[in-house]
């Protein structure tokens, strides 16, 4: 499973990364994390609001920091 975190690298982006990792670990999933910080790449991905989380290329969360529990529900 691949998580892509879109954002500038701010505290909210880091929290979203932590929450996604927590969710994957809780579910026993193998995962990798990619961080996209380049504004043009974020726009090219169709992201209008950061932070955003894509799971295996599909945007799952945009414009907010989802909790680990919320992300577990998306993954489960």
Residue pair 65/5 in contact (Cβ under 8 Å)? The answer is: no
User: Has 65 been annotated as catalytic?
Assistant: no
Angle at 10 between CA 8 and CA 12, to 5 degrees: 115
The residue annotated as part of the active site, out of 4, 5, 6, 13, is 13
User: Has 5 been annotated as catalytic?
Assistant: no
The residue annotated as part of the active site, out of 1, 10, 29, 43, is 10
Tell me how far apart the terminal alpha carbons of the chain are, to the nearest angstrom: 12
Active site residues: 10, 13
């Amino acid at each position: 499973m691949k998580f892509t975190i879109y954002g500038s690298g701010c505290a909210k982006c880091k929290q979203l990364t932590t929450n996604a990792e927590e969710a994957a670990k809780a579910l026993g999933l193998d995962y990798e994390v990619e961080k996209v910080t380049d504004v043009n790449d974020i726009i090219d991905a169709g992201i209008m609001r950061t932070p955003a989380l894509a799971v295996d290329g599909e945007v799952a969360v945009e414009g907010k920091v989802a909790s680990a529990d919320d992300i577990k529900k998306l993954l489960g």
